């Protein structure tokens, strides 16, 4: 998956069946679905794969306990089916991407007696809706069990808790592996390639104008169908098609903070069922740290949204009641914000109330737009839109096969495979686990991608990321900027900005050597590193 090879492929191609705009969860999922049905697909992303919302999620593969509560409270059939579908998709993702996912146990600490039966019955219903895809049995916990499972929890007034199960995943790597899966099925995919205009013939969209954000070259590409999967940017592309198109999105932002190890729950996530404004907040164990989020506020669209002081204060305030020793601002290692592409609902008074369902539209000039939904439902969204495209454009295509299609690295995955890596290459346990969980059955290719002794060197002490990954990701995962690697191929940039800035020195050296960068390019990279790790991620 070398970028220059894919650009050449695009230049050589006469035309495509499908041009997919946007390399997040939605676009990369569509590329997998369409390519695996035999269609000729080009996927383009203006930044890095998953640089938008898809690397900024809470990293849960879930039906959504909060949506279930709404379904029951308001007897809302749509919310109910949304949760049920999410629980089915959760099972599919855990099965097809075993390397990038794990089952996670949650404890909900409760301080009022009446909450216990309420939350317990809700989570039992969550179990029932999971059907065969159930990950474990929810149950009530006594106070002592709650404390034992969540040693960080504030036990003053604690009555007990409820244990339940959900899925957790590595969102950024999932998107990259989906792109790889699409490519393995014949797709062409290019990051840092922006759609700047649509081409029309006789009033029908027949391709797009692309700008390479690395070389600044421009290309015209022809495609029978063009799918707009640009998340929060969907209305921008719709306006390229029809300047009078009414916006369909009402976006909202959500932040996450990462807290030092001492605030991290060990094996169990903590679900805070009700904040002051009736939301849910999760405190998750993530790479040994605590990932906390999220918020829901109206926002404007930006590639790298800022995290405001108010948002940070809100999150710290909401979680402080639940911690024995509440974290303070100084304990935050990193924070970032993501934008939800929510489909407008005239009846909703806040963005929080808007249903997370997806939306598909075919314009008069045949631009296909898909937006909304959530990460967990990416596969279903892709199936729905490709079904629609096949019908609308009378394509000859096979049936959808993605329920049983392994995501790259998930083929022949052995859960104990990290032990083999550890013994065969004599590497530390944490490095073996990291490689195994990030690259799955491709982990040995990563180790073999450069001189072994040098390649096994850690990029940052106390973190399991190694130099060989830089070599591998440049050659095989289209890493073009240092920050692409540090934020989305490994999660260091999201976990700890200071550590990422420190590691960037060595990553820059390796990439400059590999890609033959001159001084101008090196200083541009340094500028990007400073922007990302001193400012908004
Ligand atoms: C705070 C937060 C927490 C969340 N947590 C969860 C969770 O735990 N579980 C879950 O299932 N879901 C979660 N979600 C929802 C989920 O993250 C999103 O639904 C999903 O990532 C949206 O993916 P997307 O591909 O539609 O959008 P994006 O990931 O934003 O991708 C769209 C892409 O299009 C690109 N693009 C835009 N314009 C152009 C152009 N002109 N040319 C080329 N490319 C272009 C953008 O750069 C972007 O990368 C969360 C969302 C938020 C905001």
Q: How far apart are CA 17 and CA 15, in angstroms?
A: 7
Which residues does 328 contact at the CB level (< 8 Å), separation at least 6? 316
Q: Measure 46 CA to ligand 1 centroid, in angstroms.
A: 13
Q: How far apart are CA 435 and CA 135, in angstroms?
A: 25
Is residue 293 within 8 Å of residue 318, measured between CB atoms? no
Q: How far apart are CA 171 and CA 127, in angstroms?
A: 24
Residue 388 has what DSSP assignment?
Answer: H
Tokens at 368, concatenated: 């296909």
Q: Measure 419 CA to ligand 1 centroid, in angstroms.
A: 35
Q: How far apart are CA 219 and CA 253, in angstroms?
A: 33
pLDDT at 256: 97
Q: How far apart are CA 507 and CA 515, in angstroms?
A: 12
Which residues does 157 contact at the CB level (< 8 Å), separation at least 6? 111
How does pLDDT run across 2-14, given as a tens digit for each residue?
Answer: 899 999 999 999 8
Q: How far apart are CA 329 and CA 309, in angstroms?
A: 10
- Which atom of ligand 1 lies nearest, measured to the CA of 196? 41
3-state helix, strand, coil in the chain (%, to 5): 45, 20, 35
User: Measured between alpha carbons, how far is residue 266 from residues 41, 107, 149, 153, 232 in Å?
Assistant: 43, 12, 8, 12, 34
Going by CATH, does the domain composed of 3-54+172-248+355-404 fall within 3.50.50.60? yes
User: Measured between alpha carbons, how far is residue 251 from residues 82, 86, 167, 296, 356 in Å?
Assistant: 19, 21, 25, 10, 11
Alpha helices in 185-290, H assignment, sequence order: 234-241
Which residues does 501 contact at the CB level (< 8 Å), separation at least 6? 529, 533, 534
Query: Which residue's CA is minimally distant from atom 50 of ligand 1?
Result: 57
Q: How far apart are CA 73 and CA 34, in angstroms?
A: 38
Question: pTM of the predicted model, to two decimals?
Answer: 0.96
User: Is the CB of 47 inside a 6 Å radius of any atom of ligand 1?
Assistant: yes
Is residue 66 within 8 Å of residue 269, measured between CB atoms? no
Query: Which residue's CA is minimally distant from atom 35 of ligand 1?
Result: 22
Q: Measure 497 CA to ligand 1 centroid, in angstroms.
A: 22
- Which atom of ligand 1 lies nearest, measured to the CA of 58? 8
User: Is the CB of 51 inside a 6 Å radius of any atom of ligand 1?
Assistant: yes
User: Is the CB of 28 inside a 6 Å radius of any atom of ligand 1?
Assistant: no
Fold of 417-534: Helicase, Ruva Protein; domain 3 (1.10.8)
User: Is the CB of 54 inside a 6 Å radius of any atom of ligand 1?
Assistant: yes
Q: How far apart are CA 348 and CA 366, in angstroms?
A: 29
The tokens 């989570």 sit on which residue?
Answer: 123
Which residues does 215 contact at the CB level (< 8 Å), separation at least 6? none
CATH architecture of 98-169+251-352: 2-Layer Sandwich (3.30)
What is the DSSP code string of 122-139? HHHHHHHHHGGG--S--E
Query: What are the domain boundaries of the chain?
Result: 3-54+172-248+355-404, 98-169+251-352, 417-534
Q: What is the pLDDT along the chain (537 residues), one digit of tens a residue?
A: 789 999 999 999 989 999 999 999 999 999 999 999 999 999 999 999 999 999 999 999 998 887 777 777 777 788 888 889 999 999 999 999 999 999 999 999 999 999 888 888 888 888 888 888 899 999 999 999 999 999 999 999 999 999 999 999 999 999 999 999 999 999 999 999 999 999 999 999 999 999 999 999 999 999 999 999 999 999 999 999 999 999 999 999 999 999 998 998 888 999 998 888 888 999 999 999 999 999 999 899 999 999 999 999 999 999 999 999 999 999 999 999 999 999 887 666 666 666 668 999 999 999 999 999 999 999 999 999 999 999 999 999 999 999 999 999 999 999 999 999 999 999 999 999 999 999 999 999 999 988 777 789 999 999 999 999 999 999 999 999 999 999 999 999 999 999 999 999 999 999 999 999 999 999 999 999 999 999 877
Please give the backbone phi and psi of residue 466, each rounded to the nearest 5 degrees, phi first.
Answer: -120, 165
How does pLDDT run across 381-432, given as a tens digit for each residue?
Answer: 999 999 999 999 999 999 999 999 999 999 999 999 999 999 999 999 999 9
Q: How far apart are CA 329 and CA 235, in angstroms?
A: 36
Is residue 241 within 8 Å of residue 226, measured between CB atoms? no
Q: Measure 345 CA to ligand 1 centroid, in angstroms.
A: 19
User: Is the CB of 44 inside a 6 Å radius of any atom of ligand 1?
Assistant: yes
Query: Which residue's CA is minimally distant from atom 15 of ligand 1?
Result: 374
């Amino acid at each position: 998956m070398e970028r220059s090879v894919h650009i050449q492929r695009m230049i050589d191609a006469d035309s495509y069946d499908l041009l997919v705009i946007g390399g997040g969860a939605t676009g990369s999922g569509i590329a997998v679905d369409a390519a695996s049905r035999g269609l000729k697909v080009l996927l383009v992303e203006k930044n890095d794969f998953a640089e938008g919302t898809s690397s900024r999620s809470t990293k849960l593969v879930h039906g959504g306990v909060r949506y279930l509560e709404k379904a029951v409270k308001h007897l809302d059939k749509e919310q109910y089916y949304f949760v049920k579908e999410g629980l089915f998709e959760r099972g599919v993702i855990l099965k097809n991407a075993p390397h990038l996912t794990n089952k996670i146990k949650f404890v909900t600490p409760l301080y009022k007696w009446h909450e216990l039966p309420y939350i317990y019955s809700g989570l039992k219903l969550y179990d029932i809706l999971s059907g065969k895809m159930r990950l474990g049995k929810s149950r009530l916990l006594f106070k002592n069990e709650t404390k034992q499972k969540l040693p960080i929890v504030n036990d003053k007034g604690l009555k007990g808790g409820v244990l339940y199960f959900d899925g957790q995943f590595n969102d950024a790597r999932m998107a990259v592996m989906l792109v790889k899966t699409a490519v393995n099925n014949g797709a062409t995919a290019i990051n840092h390639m922006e759609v700047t205009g649509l081409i029309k013939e006789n009033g029908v969209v027949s391709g797009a104008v692309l700008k390479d954000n690395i070389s600044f070259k421009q290309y015209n590409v022809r495609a029978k169908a063009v799918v707009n999967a640009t998340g929060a940017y969907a209305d921008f592309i719709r306006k390229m098609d029809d300047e009078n198109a009414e916006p369909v999105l009402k976006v909202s932002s959500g932040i996450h903070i990462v807290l030092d190890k001492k605030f991290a729950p060990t094996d169990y996530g903590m679900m805070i069922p009700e904040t002051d404004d009736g939301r849910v907040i999760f405190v998750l164990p993530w790479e040994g740290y605590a990932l906390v989020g999220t918020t829901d506020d109206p926002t404007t669209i930006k590639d790298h949204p800022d995290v405001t002081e108010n948002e940070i204060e809100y999150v710290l305030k909401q979680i402080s009641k639940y911690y024995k020793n509440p974290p303070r601002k100084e304990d935050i290692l990193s924070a970032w914000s993501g934008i939800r592409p929510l489909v407008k609902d005239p009846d909703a008074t806040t963005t929080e109330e808007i249903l997370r369902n997806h939306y598909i539209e075919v314009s008069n000039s045949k631009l296909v737009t898909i937006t909304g939904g959530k990460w967990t439902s990416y596969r279903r969204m892709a199936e729905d839109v490709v079904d629609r495209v096949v019908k609308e454009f009378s394509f000859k295509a096979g049936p959808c096969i993605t329920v049983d299609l392994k995501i790259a690295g998930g083929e022949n995955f052995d859960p104990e495979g990290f032990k083999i890596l550890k013994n065969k290459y004599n590497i530390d346990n944490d490095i073996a686990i990291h490689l195994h969980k990030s690259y799955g059955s491709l982990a040995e290719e990563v180790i073999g991608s450069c001189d072994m002794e040098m390649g096994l060197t850690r990029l940052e002490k106390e973190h399991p990321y190694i130099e060989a990954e830089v070599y591998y990701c440049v050659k095989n995962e289209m890493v073009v900027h240092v920050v692409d690697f540090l934020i989305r191929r490994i999660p260091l940039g999201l976990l700890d900005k200071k550590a990422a800035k420190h590691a960037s020195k060595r990553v820059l050296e390796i990439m400059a050597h590999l890609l033959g960068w001159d001084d101008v390019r090196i200083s541009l990279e340094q500028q990007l590193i400073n922007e990302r790790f001193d400012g908004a991620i």
